[in-house]
Amino acid sequence: MPIIPARLLDLLSDEKKAFASLALTLADGLPQVTPIWFSWDGTHVILNTARGRVKDRVMKRGGKVALLIVDPADPYRYLQLRGRVIEESEDGAYDTICDLQLKYRGNRDYPRRPGEVRVTYKILPETIFPRQ
């Protein structure tokens, strides 16, 4: 796994509250980019979504993704990660979205929606492009 420069590690921290732009390739070859909450476990980028959404359908196929994480205080300071989906799980996925709700909104009260099934994806970075 490539090493993330120490000067950019704060972009991955819970304190920074930076969003990631998730880039995927749809089945027809068209690109899809979505802003998304994320967390970092020191090795993987952790993403969470609901079953049936576009990002779920694409990541469920596995494969490669790209993430752009921009410093909210300085848009010229960013980190781009390219990697692959290595895991998906519904186990604990509602707790994961509650953790992300805490990071980004300051409380764990993520609303439960009838019929919604949450899923967590782990992305293993393979290439890192730091900026600044």
Q: pTM for this structure? A: 0.92
Determine the Cα–Cα distance for residues 26 and 63; give it in Å rounded to an integer: 11
- Provide the pLDDT for residue 130: 78
Determine the Cα–Cα distance for residues 20 and 95; give it in Å rounded to an integer: 20
Rounded to whole angstroms, what are the CA distances from 30 to 23, 50, 53, 123? 11, 21, 16, 21
Residues of the chain with pLDDT under 70: 131-132
- Provide the pLDDT for residue 110: 94
- Provide the pLDDT for residue 131: 62
Which domains does the chain show, CATH number per domain? Answer: 6-131 (2.30.110.10)
31 and 63 in contact (C-beta within 8 Å)? no
- Provide the pLDDT for residue 67: 97
Which residue spans within the chain are E strands per DSSP? Answer: 20-25, 31-36, 39-40, 45-50, 64-71, 74-89, 118-131
- Provide the pLDDT for residue 132: 54
